[in-house]
Amino acid sequence: MNLVEELFASLKNEQNKELILPDALTFPALDLERFELDIKLEEQAQVNGEKDFPTTESKEFDYTQQQIIEYTLRTIRPFQASYTEAIAAYNARLASLDPLGFDARIRGLAAKKKADLKMIASQVSGEIYLQENYLKEREEEYRKFKEKHGNPADPTSIMTIQAKILIIFLLVMLEGSLNSFFLGDYMRGGLLEGMAYAIAIPLLSIVFFGSMAGISLRKLTYATPVKKVIFLLAIIISTAGSLALTLMLAAMRISGEASDEYEKIFMEVWLSLLKFDPIYSINLSAILLVSLGFAFYIIAMFDIKSMDHPIPGFLDSYKTREKAHQDYSKKMEDSNRRLSEVANASDEISMAFHRLQTWQMEYQNIIINRRQLADKFGAYIKLIEAQVNNLISKYRQINVQHRKTPAPLYFGSKWVYPEMVMEPTESSELIKDFQSKMQKVYENIDNIQKELEHEVKDLAGVIAPVRKALGKP
Rg of the chain, C-alpha, whole Å:
52
Around Cβ 141, how many Cβ atoms within 10 Å? 14
Query: pLDDT: is 109 or 131 the higher one?
Result: 131
* Mean pLDDT calculated for residue range 121-136: 79
What is the pLDDT, as a whole number, of residue 459? 62
Q: Are both 179 and 84 inside the same structural domain?
A: no
Q: Are both 304 and 339 inside the same structural domain?
A: no
Report the C-alpha gap between 230 and 150 in whole angstroms.
23
Query: pLDDT: is 404 or 112 the higher one?
Result: 404
In Å, how far from its chain's centre is CA 457?
A: 28
Helix H or strand E encompassing 229: helix 225-258
Q: Are both 404 and 274 inside the same structural domain?
A: no
Q: Are both 265 and 347 inside the same structural domain?
A: no
Residue 152 lies in a domain: no
- Amino acid identity at 396: R
Report the C-alpha gap between 441 and 75 in whole angstroms.
47
Report the C-alpha gap between 240 and 234 in whole angstroms.
10
For the residues of 201-233, what is the DSSP string, one character each? HHIIIIIIIHHHHHHHHHHTTT--HHHHHHHHH
Q: Are both 203 and 282 inside the same structural domain?
A: yes
What is the pLDDT, as a whole number, of residue 415? 92
Query: pLDDT: is 157 or 362 the higher one?
Result: 362
Q: Are both 289 and 382 inside the same structural domain?
A: no
* Out of 57-61, 93-97, 394-398, 406-410, least confident range: 93-97
Query: pLDDT: is 121 or 372 the higher one?
Result: 372
pLDDT in tens, 243-298: 998 888 888 878 777 766 767 787 888 888 888 888 887 888 888 888 888 899 99
Report the C-alpha gap between 207 and 300 in whole angstroms.
8
Q: Are both 240 and 367 inside the same structural domain?
A: no
Last residue of a domain, one of 308, 343, 369: 308
Report the C-alpha gap between 290 and 250 in whole angstroms.
6
What is the pLDDT, as a whole number, of residue 45? 92
Q: Are both 283 and 340 inside the same structural domain?
A: no
Query: pLDDT: is 466 or 73 the higher one?
Result: 73
Contact 188, 262 (CB under 8 A): yes
Query: H helices of 262-344, where?
Result: 262-274, 284-305, 314-342
**Of residues 301, 107, 120, the one with CA closest to residue 215:** 301
Identify the band that residue 310 occupies on the pLDDT scale cut at 50, 70 and 90: confident
Residue 245 lies in a domain: yes
Q: Are both 278 and 185 inside the same structural domain?
A: yes
pLDDT at 438 over 60: yes
Report the C-alpha gap between 437 and 274 in whole angstroms.
106
pTM score, whole prediction: 0.45
pLDDT in tens, 45-85: 999 999 999 999 999 999 999 999 999 999 998 888 888 88
- Determine whether 61 is exposed, middle or buried from the number of CB atoms within 10 Å of its CB (0-12, 13-18, 19+): middle
Residue 318 lies in a domain: no
pLDDT at 242 over 60: yes
Which SS3 state, helix, strand or coil, does residue 21 take?
Answer: coil
> What are phi and psi for residue 389, nearest 5 degrees?
-65, -35
Residue 382 lies in a domain: yes
Residue 125 lies in a domain: no
Looking at every residue in the chain, the average pLDDT score rounds to 79
Report the C-alpha gap between 268 and 252 in whole angstroms.
11
Residue 302 lies in a domain: yes
What is the pLDDT, as a whole number, of residue 190? 54
Residue 327 lies in a domain: no
Q: Are both 302 and 342 inside the same structural domain?
A: no
pLDDT in tens, 203-230: 888 899 999 998 898 888 777 888 889 9
In percent, the amount of the chain with pLDDT more than 90 equals 20
Helices (H) then strands (E): counts for the chain: 14, 0
Q: Are both 246 and 358 inside the same structural domain?
A: no
Q: What's the domain range around 74?
A: 3-114+335-469
Query: pLDDT: is 292 or 462 the higher one?
Result: 292
Contact 4, 355 (CB under 8 A): yes
Give me the number of domains the chain comprises. Answer: 2
Identify the band that residue 427 occupies on the pLDDT scale cut at 50, 70 and 90: low
Q: Are both 460 and 342 inside the same structural domain?
A: yes
pLDDT at 347 over 60: no
Contact 271, 265 (CB under 8 A): no
* Mean pLDDT calculated for residue range 126-138: 82
pLDDT at 27 over 80: yes
